[in-house]
Amino acid sequence: MAVQNNTPPEQTTAWRLLAEHQRQAAELRLHGEFARDPGRAQRFSLGLERLFVDFSRNLITDETLSLLLDLAGQLGLGEKIGALFSGQEVNTTEQRPALHTLLRVPDDAGAGIQGNGEPDGMARRVRQERDRMFAFVKRLRAGEVRGSAGKPITRVVNIGIGGSDLGPRLVNGALSGYHREGMDIDFVANIDPFDIERALARADPETTLFIVASKSFTTQETLVNATRAERWLAENGCNDTGRHFLAVSGNSAAVERFGIGKDRYFKLEDWTGGRYSIWSCIGMSSAICIGEDNFREFLAGAHALDLHFRSSAFDNNIPVILALLSVWYNNFFDVGAHAVIPYDQRLEILPAYLGQLVMESNGKSVGTDGNRVGTKTSQVIWGGAGSQAQHAVFQFLHQGTRISSIDFLLPLTGGHDRAQHELLVANCLAQGEALMRGSANSAEPHRHFDGNRPSTTIVYDRLDPYTLGMLLALYEHKTYVEAAIWGINAFDQWGVDLGKTLAGQIAAELAGGEPPGSHDASTEQLMGRYRSAQRN
C-alpha cells in the first residue's frame, strides 16, 4: 500500500507562515537571545539515554519550532512514520518497504514490535540469517574456517562499495577499541586497481578470506575486484578458491554463478537499502572485528532510537527536530550545505557515510506523486574530523560569505589521557561558541567575525557499540523525516544509473570491442587522450 499524504509542502499553511516568520528569524542575534532568555539552552536541548543534543545555537525561537511542528503535522508525518515501521511500500518506485528497523529488533522483542503490518515470517528470517552470521563468526574466530591449504583464516577483506563498504568501514574504525585480537580486516571499494592491489600486497593467499558484499551482485567495481582476488588466489597456488570467499547479497543466482557455495552465502532481503544495510549481514566484517555481543549492542542502540522515533511526541523527538531544522535552513534560509564535524577521530569517515545516507536518499527532484518537486531537497553533506577540520576548512565557516549548518559530535569521555581529551572538548565547545558569538572589529575588517552562525552539538558519554547504533539510527530517521516533509522517496537511487550505463559503453569502446559511440566533443577528446597515452 502506498503512503498517502502527497501534499506538496509549499502548499501547506505552515509553509506559508514559516516563510513569513523567516523574515523575523533572520534578524535574530543568537548571542543576544542567550542573554535575554536564561532558559534557552535547556529548552532547546533533548536527551535520550547516552545522547544529549543541544540545538539551542540555531536560528530559532519557540514560534519557529511550533510552526515547524505544524508543518510536520500538516504533511502527515505521524502516518508516514507508521508506514515505515509497519512495512508499507514507502519505496514507491520499487514497490517495496524499507524495513531496516526490523534488522535491529532484538531476538526477545516478541511479535508485533514493528507494528500492524509486520509479516512475522520476515522477522523470523532476519533472526535466522543473523544467527547464521554469528555462527560463522564464531567458527572463524575459533580457527575452524580454513583456507585451501588447511590454515586458519587470519585476514578478512571486505570487497564492496557504497553501502556495502561505508557502513562496515565506519563501524570498523569507530569501534577499533572493541576489536578482538587475531584478525586483520581490510576494505576494498574502488575500481582503481591501486585499491585491490594494496590490499593483496599485504595479504597471505593461504589465510585470507574475501567477503564479497553486494546487494545486487552486479556492481562493476565489486565484481571486478572479486574476480581479481580470485585470480590472485589461483596465481598464488590456491587450488580451491571457493574456500576463500563468502558473499552477502540479495542475488543468490549471481552468487552461485560466481562460484560461492550456499553455506557461504548470506542473504540480504530486497527491502534492505544499501545505505541502510550495516544492520544486516553486510555487517559481517564488523561482527568479525567486534564479536557477537558487541554487534548485538550496536543493534540494540539503534533499536532504542527506533522506539524513541516511533513513540515520542514530535516536540520531544530528536530525529524529527533535527530534520525540521535542516528543512528550516535548506528551504527558508537557502543554506544548501550541512557540515558534520565529529570531534572524535574514530568517526573520521562519518561525513562520507552520512554523505551517502543523506544525499543518495534525498538528492531527488521528483516527489512520491511523480511530479517535480517545488522545493529544494537534500543539502550537501560535508565535513571532517575536528580538530583537523579547524585547520583546514573552518575559515569558510567563520568568515565565508555562505553559511553551512553544522552538527558537532563529541564524546564526553575518551579512552586515553584525560588532559588531552579535555583539549579536544575545549576545541569543540570553542568552535560552536565562536561561530555563534562572532567578534566585531571595524578597524581591521579581515579580523571581523559576523558570528550568528548556527550549529547543533551532539554529545554522548562514550563511543561504545550501543551509542554508535543510536547515532546512526538517529541520522537514518532524520533523513526519513526530511524526505517525508519534501514528499520524496528516500529509498531509491535512480540517479546513479545513467552514469553506470555510459561507463559500460565507454569501457566497451575503449577496449575496442564496440564501434565508437556518438559522444560529445569533450568526451571524445578525453577518450582520444587516453588512447594516445596507451600508445606512448
Should residue 163 be labelled a site residue for ligand F6P when binding is judged by CB under 6 A?
yes
Of the pair 87, 162, the CB lying nearest ligand F6P is at 162
Should residue 214 be labelled a site residue for ligand F6P when binding is judged by CB under 6 A?
yes
CB of 279 to ligand F6P, least distance (A): 14
User: 269 near 99, Cβ under 8 Å?
Assistant: yes
- Out of 222, 285, 404, 457, which residue is the one contacting ligand F6P (CB under 6 A)? 222
- Out of 64, 164, 377, 455, which residue is the one contacting ligand F6P (CB under 6 A)? 164
Q: What does DSSP assign to residue 243?
A: G
Should residue 219 be labelled a site residue for ligand F6P when binding is judged by CB under 6 A?
yes
Active site residue 391: yes
CB of 450 to ligand F6P, least distance (A): 39
Q: Which stretch binds ligand F6P (CB under 6 A): 78-86, 181-189, 215-223, 453-461?
A: 215-223
Distance CA 384, CA 390 (A): 9
User: 46 near 99, Cβ under 8 Å?
Assistant: no
CB of 392 to ligand F6P, least distance (A): 28
Residue 276 — left, alpha, or beta (φ > 0 → left; ψ -120 to 50 → alpha)?
alpha
- Out of 161, 337, 459, 472, which residue is the one contacting ligand F6P (CB under 6 A)? 161
Should residue 438 be labelled a site residue for ligand F6P when binding is judged by CB under 6 A?
no
Catalytic residue, candidates 262, 391, 416, 446: 391
Site for ligand F6P in 245-274 (CB under 6 A): 274
Maximum alpha-carbon separation in the chain: 76
- Out of 100, 130, 275, 346, which residue is the one contacting ligand F6P (CB under 6 A)? 275
Distance CA 246, CA 158 (A): 10
Of the pair 352, 459, the CB lying nearest ligand F6P is at 352
Should residue 280 be labelled a site residue for ligand F6P when binding is judged by CB under 6 A?
no
Site for ligand F6P in 458-517 (CB under 6 A): 493, 496
Catalytic residue, candidates 144, 500, 514, 524: 500
Of the pair 274, 432, the CB lying nearest ligand F6P is at 274
Site for ligand F6P in 360-379 (CB under 6 A): 360
CB of 251 to ligand F6P, least distance (A): 8
Should residue 169 be labelled a site residue for ligand F6P when binding is judged by CB under 6 A?
no
Q: Which stretch binds ligand F6P (CB under 6 A): 30-38, 44-52, 97-105, 208-216?
A: 208-216
CB of 273 to ligand F6P, least distance (A): 7
CB of 165 to ligand F6P, least distance (A): 8
**How many residues form the binding site for ligand F6P (CB under 6 A)?**
14
Give buried/exposed letters for 331-359 (b at 16+ CB in 10 A, else e).
bbeebebbbbbbbbbbbebbbbbbbbbbb
β-strands 245-249, 208-213 pairing: parallel
Residue type, 393: V
User: 359 near 380, Cβ under 8 Å?
Assistant: yes
Active site residue 80: no
Should residue 405 be labelled a site residue for ligand F6P when binding is judged by CB under 6 A?
no
Question: What is the 3-state secondary structure of 147-186?
Answer: CCCCCECCEEEEECCHHHCHHHHHHHHHCHHHCCCCCEEE
Catalytic residue, candidates 360, 364, 477, 478: 360
What ranges make up the beta strands (E) of 189-272?
208-213, 245-249, 265-267
For the beta carbon of residue 426, count every other beta carbon within 10 angstroms. Answer: 12
Supply the DSSP string of 63-104, one letter for each residue.
Answer: HHHHHHHHHHHHTTHHHHHHHHHTT---BTTTTB---GGGGG
- Out of 57, 215, 244, 338, which residue is the one contacting ligand F6P (CB under 6 A)? 215
With cell 600508445, the residue in question is 535
Distance CA 532, CA 528 (A): 6
User: 378 near 361, Cβ under 8 Å?
Assistant: yes
User: 196 near 160, Cβ under 8 Å?
Assistant: no
Q: Which stretch binds ligand F6P (CB under 6 A): 81-89, 210-218, 305-313, 382-390?
A: 210-218
Supply the DSSP string of 302-359, one letter for each residue.
Answer: HHHHHHHHHHS-GGG-HHHHHHHHHHIIIIIS---EEEEEES-GGGTTHHHHHIIIII
β-strands 45-48, 51-54 pairing: antiparallel
Active site residue 500: yes
Interface pattern 68-107 for ligand F6P (x via CB under 6 A): ----------------------------------------
Of the pair 219, 368, the CB lying nearest ligand F6P is at 219
Q: Give catalytic residues, as residue numbers.
A: 360, 391, 500
**What is the binding site for ligand F6P (CB under 6 A)?**
161-164, 214-216, 219, 222, 274-275, 360, 493, 496
